[in-house]
Amino acid sequence: MTQQPFSRPGAIDLSALKRPAPAAPSGPGAPPPAGAAPGGPVGGQGGGAAGGPVGGSSYAVSVTEQNFQSVIEASMTAPVLLVFYSRTRMPESGQLADDLATVSAEFEGRFLAGLVDIDAAPQIAQAMQIPSIPLVIAVLDGRPAPLLQDALPIEELRTALTQVIQQLTAQGMTGRHQPLHAAAAPDDDAEPQVDPRYAAAQDALGEGDIDRAVAEYQKLVDANPADAEAAAGLAMAKVLQRTQGVDLNAARAAAAANPDDVEAQTMVADLDMLGGHVEDAFTRLVDLVRRSSGDERNAAREHLLGLFAAVGNDDPRVIRGRQALASALF
């Protein structure tokens, strides 16, 4: 596919889907014509009718030109993750699609997995200006942003998506998709189950009351310091608290002008976290620890440990970050 940068910060342009499909090339190995049913099973099962569930998950759907717009519209409720793949061009991308379908069931509607076979639906790839595969794009409120560009092993994929959902929850985005078939939802009227221990904190986040969320998470951590989920929630809520009302451009300019200023650097690290640039945040603070000393070094280290807690100690990025921090310290 064309190697061009992905740059579509605005709403998705659906006009490309309205152009007549080009004539299908003939001969062995030629991709099927636009609009053909997606080729190959997903998660060991056929894709079924357009819009139907795939891969045994109630929250994964094969995306075609016919249902593409409705899938994008579903992002007004909760995130849609579009995975672009081709089993013939890159088998690993097909495995990523299978894994995303599998993991989507575990998140119980926190996101809808949309599986786009670029051989079966080339005009969707054209409309989204896909530079290469595999590629996972997150769509929220109809607006796309690149999320993953590697065929991650399923455990790393699960961890990365957990972090994404935690960040969205911390920002009050708690919507859920309805399951695509009744078998996954025996009680259609049932509210999503929320662990009652975290309900007060999550309610506060949903209402935009960050200070109350911090206080509620702090109570949980004080009561049980071993509660990793509460610790992660507290750490992320504090990131939100510190960045309230901060001008992103001004903060980055201040950090660029003052590379050894702990306050300026930690602020941009927090903003990187909120933007999903987790490893950028870690690298910034590891570098700051490496070139600082005394109280400033300790402040940078403590801040970085807080960001590690927000992501989770089992996350591969945190493991790498801790190794880098140890190297910087010793």
Say what the pLDDT of residue 166 is.
81
Separation in Å, CA 17 to CA 112, 122, 144 = 21, 10, 17
Say what the pLDDT of residue 54 is.
55
**Order of strands, sheet of 60-62, starting from the edge strand that comes earlier in the sequence:** 60-62, 112-117, 80-85, 135-140, 143-148
Percentage of the chain modeled with pLDDT above 70: 78
Confidence check: pLDDT of 80 > 90: yes
Confidence check: pLDDT of 249 > 80: yes
User: Coil, strand, or helix at residue 60?
Assistant: strand
| Span 197-234, pLDDT tens digits | 888 888 888 788 889 989 999 999 899 888 888 888 89
Tell how far CA 109 is from the center of its chain: 14
> In order of start, what are the domains of the chain with their CATH numbers?
30-155 (3.40.30.10), 196-329 (1.25.40)
| Rounded Cα–Cα distance for residues 57 and 43 (Å) | 9
Higher-confidence residue of 178 and 264: namely 264
What is the rounded average pLDDT of the residues 230-259?
Answer: 90
CB 272 within 8 A of CB 281: yes
Tokens 């090339």 locate to 25
| Span 312-323, pLDDT tens digits | 877 888 889 999
Contacts 24+ apart (CB under 8 A), 42-47: 42/97, 42/98, 42/101, 42/115, 43/98, 43/101, 43/102, 44/98, 47/115
Confidence check: pLDDT of 10 > 60: no
β-strand partners of 82: 114, 137
Confidence check: pLDDT of 246 > 70: yes
Asked if the bond preceding 134 is cis, omega within 30° of 0, the reply is yes
pTM of the model: 0.47
| Span 33-73, pLDDT tens digits | 333 333 333 333 333 323 444 545 578 999 998 888 888 88
Confidence check: pLDDT of 302 > 70: yes
* Arithmetic mean of pLDDT over the chain: 78
Half-sphere exposure of 167 (CA within 13 A, CB side): 18
Say what the pLDDT of residue 5 is.
34
| Rounded Cα–Cα distance for residues 39 and 147 (Å) | 24
| Span 109-162, pLDDT tens digits | 889 999 999 999 998 988 888 889 999 999 988 888 899 888 999 999 998 898
Say what the pLDDT of residue 226 is.
81
Token digits for 324? 């880098």
CB 47 within 8 A of CB 40: no
Q: Nearest 5°: phi and psi at 249?
A: -65, -40
| Span 169-203, pLDDT tens digits | 777 677 788 887 533 344 444 444 556 888 888 88
Say what the pLDDT of residue 27 is.
36
